[in-house]
Amino acid sequence: MGQRRSIAGSRILITGASQGIGRALALEAARQGAKVLAAARQEPLLAELAAEASSQGLAITTVAADVTRSEDRVKMVDAARQAFGGLDILINNAGIGATGHFADVDFANLRKIFEVNFFGLTETTRACLPLLKQGVKPAIVNISSIAGRRGIPARSHYSASKFAVQGFSEALRAELAKDGIDVLVVSPGLTQTNFSKNMIEQKALIKLDHLRGMTSEQVARATLRAVAKGKHETTLTFQGRLLVWFARFLPRFVDFVTKKKIHSLFAQEMAERRRQRAAGAASI
């Protein structure tokens, strides 16, 4: 566990704040009395967020920025300094996804996912460190995924990016302990957002029903509770915690179940391959 802190009065930068979990985080943090700087690429969506906050008697500062661009990362830091005089909490929420089996995945899409989900996160963190070191009970909060705790078939590239976030966070937590900066990881499970609609590619035969998941607002509240408590690792949804438990203590069982699912999806293809091999052997 890290430091306990109050959300009220904290200066918070949230990336990917125009939609989904990021938008819910910005509104909920503002309701709890935080000074919120919401960053995202699309200015019209940020304007809608600011207007919604204002209609609820809340104030949210916005900045249009892309976490993959060095000049935009500087822009976020400058905005936090100008608006609040510093920064206490960085929530790295910006992320993209794609589905599809690895053999069919275009390398450009794999690189794009890592540019946003991993390098965008690490370099935004690097840019904000000078401000965070001067902050009050500072914290870095990395929004990861259950897919960063157990690899999900047909989501190998997304899972890999989130595993990278997990490893980076664990190492950074130890490195920044001397500076009094907490590094927290929140791993949502299925969440009711537009994330699946905004994926850069969808080729998975295995479908996940996001409508059965938590709402963005529930994830936001759970995330801010974890931040207030200084909880290093937070895994959301009962199913998500169950999967992580099985993956840790019964990994062979999880492997068996996932392989069985893949075999059922590709039964026809596998049968055709066996037929071709048999025909080839008979012709020799």
Q: What is the pLDDT of residues 137-172, one digit of tens each?
A: 999 999 999 988 988 888 889 999 999 999 999 999
Q: Which amino acid is at 178?
A: K
Q: How many CA atoms lie within 13 A of 76 on its CB side?
A: 37
Q: Name the pTM for this structure.
A: 0.85
pLDDT at 99: 78
pLDDT at 280: 61
pLDDT at 210: 47
Higher pLDDT, 68 or 241: 68
Residue identified by tokens 């999806």 is 265
Question: So where are the chain's domains?
Answer: 11-249, 251-284
Question: Does the pLDDT at position 31 exceed 80?
Answer: yes
DSSP for 261-282, written as a single string: HHHHHTHHHHHHHHHHHHHHHH
194-209 residue pLDDT tens: 655 555 555 545 555 4
Question: Does the pLDDT at position 263 exceed 50?
Answer: yes
Instruction: Give 37's strand partners.
Output: 13, 61
How far is the C-alpha of 189 from the C-alpha of 209, rounded, in Å? 11
Which of 235, 260, 261, 265 lies closest to 248, judged by CA? 235
pLDDT at 281: 60
Q: What percent of the chain has pLDDT over 90?
A: 64
Question: Does the pLDDT at position 124 exceed 50?
Answer: yes
Question: Does the pLDDT at position 249 exceed 80?
Answer: yes
Catalytic residues: 158
Give me the mean pLDDT over the 12-31 stretch.
97
Question: Does the pLDDT at position 73 exceed 90?
Answer: yes
pLDDT at 251: 81
40-52 residue pLDDT tens: 999 999 999 999 9
What are the DSSP E strand ranges found in the chain?
11-14, 35-40, 60-64, 89-92, 139-143, 182-187, 191-192, 214-215, 233-235
Fold type of domain 11-249: Rossmann fold (3.40.50)
The mean of the pLDDT values for the chain is 88
